[in-house]
């Protein structure tokens, strides 16, 4: 078929949050081509899409795609139902719990795969219709500690820069980010700048592919990030290599952090992080000598029981070196799912915030939403996702509505999560497939993918971009916003949105940082970066050029002391397990496992084991290995490689058969952000 004869939509990738724009071509039955958009001003442009954005569309027509609602019959098996029957069952199931135990006994897990408009409605549905503040999303499992740490230090819990700044930097520090595999197009741009002469510093427990490009690669023991970051800051401060003028004029708390970093002496640092002092010194001096440095990270920094402190240590380092508010300098947490920035945070499917990070405990703000949504809202924060599963043990949560999340694989300690899902009084799952979570549901509602609906996503650098429908919804599936609207009306409300553009107008009217953002404008301009205060505001390419988003306009440096992982290796469990992503898979695999071509590359799980460990245990590549933690065990084939250190092992997160989260810990959460410690679990490794 010729491209010119096909339907085409200029849209945004539904995989990672780099947010590549491309034209998708369809004959109405399937996606036949993806071509990078040629819009000159498209925020992420000029580089080809990665393998997932280009080829990852088989899942849309997969044989097991849900095309009708499912309800459990008297025998406990699923049977197909009409929308009317299924929605009635949901309204009754959730309504009954609300009536008997109050709305607070219900919780919603929102979807970072869904559009901004849909996530806004999920927050509204939870508070207005169900009467609960216990709504959260996958952000809790990944970057909520970034949001908390950056918000506390600078005011906004988001990237301060644009993706373009990676090409303007003289120096890039990357940590806890397997950029080549998790954010491929961004990695390409970083590598291009390195080829052009920029320094690249990589700190990671694994010698990942992008480390080949590094000026310096330091292999770290997982769980001690604040230690090595503070050690770099200490060297800079003790040798007067900091930006005095920036510190003087634009920060508070300098003396406190200067004192607090003194405990991170070379001996302490070498001992716990494994990084030789010379590498701390060379990294510190490279950063200090650079005119423009970008600090980038992913979940290796955040998925810890002290992730917020790790992020604050990094925020301190960027501030004392004056690397904020200018081209090629700033902080950039790379968000994972396509719309975790917008759907997971900005739109307020959160237990403590309305859209635009407006605090629900603030009386004036709460009154604004109570007025707009015509309901009473409690000022008490609800449960974070990780806390919902613990609260269910105490019967404080009795019903859940899970949209586009696969909690039975993605929660920490999934043996516990499965038991919770099994015991819930009522569970609704809204998804494209009967995923591992849906297997516990009372009702499963069939939703649409991003190619079957229109709305907006917000990518990792705060750019709001259009998502456009190029195919009709498969079978009887429906977009999330239409399902929510129907359900809200069955539960006593009168929603009558006719389009997602109309929903976005409501978001705009209630959300100052989106005050100038409408679908019409986003479509016209290709993308708009928040904060965008009104229709005349150009949007914000770079935060903090003039002032920080704090009460006094200054960055509030935060003293961060010594901390260590909640679970340390010991005689019984001598190795530290870390988890992560691979290029050819995406999260729990609901999309990529249905891609025939992609599955040929990484069809199954593996554990990376250092050669020394392999020899000591008599293990060779390909051998099955039993991996045991205090929470459970999995069996997985070995890959013997010195990519990991001798005390560490690594397993990807993508496979149900050997679900790595059977090993991780659901109880030790970051005290501020409630992020789990996915990146450190003590395990034992034995031949199977």
List contacts with ligand SF4 (CB under 6 A): 13, 15-16, 18-20, 49-50, 52-53, 183-185
Q: Which is nearer to ligand SF4, 230 or 460 (CB)?
A: 460
User: In terms of CB distance, is 18 or 31 closer to ligand SF4?
Assistant: 18
Nearer to ligand SF4, 12 or 323 (CB): 12
CA distances from 666 to 318, 410, 580 (A): 32, 11, 17
SS3 assignment, position 638? strand
**Which residues fall within 8 angstroms of residue 292, CB to CB, at 6 or more apart?**
168, 169, 170, 171, 323, 326, 327, 328, 329
Q: Minimum Å distance from CB 292 to ligand SF4?
A: 24
Instruction: Pick the closer one to ligand SF4 by CB: 181 or 425.
Output: 181
Q: Shortest Cβ contact with ligand SF4: which residue?
A: 53
Smaller CB separation from ligand SF4, 307 or 526: 526
CB 496, min distance to ligand SF4, A:
34
How near is the Cβ of 32 to ligand SF4 at its closest, in Å?
17
Minimum distance from residue 370 beta carbon to ligand SF4 (Å): 37
What are the respective helix, strand and coil percentages of the chain, to the nearest 5? Answer: 35, 20, 45
Least distance between ligand SF4 and beta carbon 20 (Å):
3
**CA 214 – CA 232 distance, rounded (Å):** 17
- Tokens 């039975």 belong to 408
Nearest CB to ligand SF4, comparing residues 57 and 481: 57
> Which CB atom, from 243 or from 346, has the smaller least distance to ligand SF4?
346
Instruction: Compute how many other C-beta atoms are within 10 angstroms of the C-beta atom of residue 552.
Output: 9
Beta carbon of residue 335, minimum distance to ligand SF4 (angstroms, whole number): 10
Would you tell me how many other CB atoms lie within 10 Å of the CB of residue 74? 6
**CB-nearer residue toward ligand SF4: 53 or 325:** 53
Smaller CB separation from ligand SF4, 173 or 182: 182
Query: Do residues 136 and 352 touch, judged by C-beta distance below 8 A?
Result: no
Alpha carbon distance 587, 128 (integer Å)? 31
Among candidates 68, 193, 79, 195, which has minimal Cα distance to 483?
A: 68
Q: Residue 617's CB: how many other CB atoms inside 10 A? A: 14
What's the closest the beta carbon of residue 217 comes to ligand SF4, in angstroms?
Answer: 23
- Per the structure block, which two tokens stand in for 357? 């990070």
How far, in Å, CA of 24 to CA of 31, rounded? 7
Write out the two tokens for 184: 């491929």
- What are the residues whose beta carbons fall under 8 Å from the beta carbon of 298, sequence distance 6 or more? 176, 177, 178, 179, 182, 183, 333, 334, 336
9 burial level (CB within 10 Å; 0-12, 13-18, 19+): middle
CB of 337 to ligand SF4, least distance (A): 10
Could you give the CA distance from residue 648 to residue 580 in angstroms, rounded to a whole number? 13
Quote the CA–CA distance of 504 and 119 in Å, as a whole number. 11
CB of 50 to ligand SF4, least distance (A): 3
Nearest distance, CB of residue 362 and ligand SF4, angstroms: 35
Task: Give the nearer residue to ligand SF4 in terms of CB position, either 57 or 254.
Answer: 57
Nearer to ligand SF4, 124 or 191 (CB): 191
* Distance in Å, CB of 13 to ligand SF4, minimum: 3
Among 636, 602, 633, smallest CA distance to 622 is for: 636
Task: Annotate 446-497 with DSSP letters as a single string.
Answer: EB--GGGS-EEEE-TTSEEEEE---SPPSTT-B-HHHHHHHHHHHTT-----
DSSP letter assigned to residue 163: G
Sheet holding 7-12, edge to edge: 7-12, 21-26, 31-36
Within 8 A by CB and 6+ apart from 44, the residues are 18, 19, 20, 21, 163, 185, 459, 463
In whole angstroms, the minimum distance from the beta carbon of 254 to ligand SF4 comes to 38
Least separation in angstroms between residue 222's CB and ligand SF4 is 25
């Amino acid at each position: 078929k010729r491209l010119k004869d096909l339907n085409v939509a200029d849209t945004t990738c539904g995989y990672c949050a780099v947010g590549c724009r491309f034209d998708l071509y369809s004959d109405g039955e399937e996606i036949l081509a993806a071509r990078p958009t040629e819009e000159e001003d498209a925020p992420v442009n000029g580089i080809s899409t990665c393998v997932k954005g280009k080829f990852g569309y088989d899942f849309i027509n997969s044989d097991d795609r849900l095309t009708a609602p499912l309800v459990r019959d008297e025998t406990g098996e699923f049977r197909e139902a009409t929308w009317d029957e299924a929605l009635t069952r949901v309204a009754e199931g959730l309504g009954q719990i609300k009536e008997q135990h109050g709305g607070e006994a219900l919780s919603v897990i929102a979807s970072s795969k869904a559009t901004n408009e849909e996530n806004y409605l999920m927050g509204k549905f939870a508070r207005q219709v169900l009467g609960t503040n216990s709504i959260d999303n996958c952000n809790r499992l990944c970057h909520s500690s970034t949001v908390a740490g950056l918000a506390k230090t600078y005011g906004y819990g988001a990237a301060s820069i644009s993706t373009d700044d990676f090409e303007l930097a003289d120096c890039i520090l990357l940590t806890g980010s397997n950029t080549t595999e998790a954010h491929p197009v961004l990695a390409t741009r970083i590598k291009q700048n390195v080829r052009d002469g920029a320094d690249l510093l990589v700190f990671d427990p694994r010698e990942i592919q992008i480390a080949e490009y590094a000026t310096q690669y330091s292999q770290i023991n997982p769980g001690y990030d604040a230690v090595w970051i503070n050690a770099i800051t200490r060297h800079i401060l003790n040798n007067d290599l900091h930006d005095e003028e920036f510190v003087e004029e634009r920060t508070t708390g300098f003396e406190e952090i200067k004192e607090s970093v003194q405990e991170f002496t070379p001996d302490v640092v070498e001992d716990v992080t494994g990084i030789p002092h010379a590498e701390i010194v060379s990294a510190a001096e490279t950063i200090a000598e650079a005119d423009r440095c970008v600090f980038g990270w992913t979940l290796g920094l955040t998925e810890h029981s002290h992730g917020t402190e790790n992020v604050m240590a990094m925020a301190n380092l960027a501030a004392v070196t004056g690397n904020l508010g200018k081209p090629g300098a700033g902080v950039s947490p790379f968000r994972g799912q396509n719309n975790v920035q917008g759907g997971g945070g900005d739109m307020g499917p959160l237990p403590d915030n309305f859209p635009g990070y407006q605090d629900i405990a603030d009386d004036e703000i709460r009154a604004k939403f109570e007025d707009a949504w015509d309901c009473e809202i409690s000022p008490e924060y609800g449960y974070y996702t990780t806390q919902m599963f613990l609260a269910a043990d105490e019967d404080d949560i009795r019903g859940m509505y899970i949209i586009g999340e696969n909690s039975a694989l993605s929660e920490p300690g999934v043996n516990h999560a499965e038991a919770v899902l099994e015991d819930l009084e009522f569970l609704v799952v809204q998804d494209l497939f009967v995923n591992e979570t849906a297997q516990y549901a009372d009702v499963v509602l069939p939703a649409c993918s991003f190619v079957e609906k229109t709305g907006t996503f917000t990518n990792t650098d705060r750019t709001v971009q259009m998502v456009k429908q190029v195919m009709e919804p498969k079978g009887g599936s429906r977009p999330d916003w239409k399902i929510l609207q129907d359900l809200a009306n069955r539960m006593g409300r009168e929603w009558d949105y006719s389009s997602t553009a109309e929903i976005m107008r409501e978001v705009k009217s209630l959300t100052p940082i989106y005050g100038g953002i409408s679908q019409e404008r986003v479509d016209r301009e290709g993308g708009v970066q928040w904060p965008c205060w009104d229709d005349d505001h150009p949007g914000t390419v770079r935060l903090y050029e003039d002032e920080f988003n704090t009460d006094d306009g200054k960055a509030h440096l935060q003293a961060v002391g010594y901390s260590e992982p909640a679970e340390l290796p010991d005689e019984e469990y001598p190795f530290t397990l870390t988890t992560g992503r691979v290029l050819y898979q995406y999260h729990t695999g609901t999309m990529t496992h249905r891609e025939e071509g992609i599955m040929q590359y990484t069809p199954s799980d593996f554990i990376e084991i250092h050669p020394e460990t392999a020899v000591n245990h008599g293990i060779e590549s390909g051998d099955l290995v039993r991996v045991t933690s205090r929470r459970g065990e999995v069996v997985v084939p070995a890959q013997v490689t010195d990519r990991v250190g001798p005390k560490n092992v690594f397993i990807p997160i993508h496979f149900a058969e050997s679900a790595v989260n059977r090993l991780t810990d659901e109880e030790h959460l970051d005290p501020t952000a409630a992020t789990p410690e996915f990146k450190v679990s003590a395990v034992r490794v034995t031949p199977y």
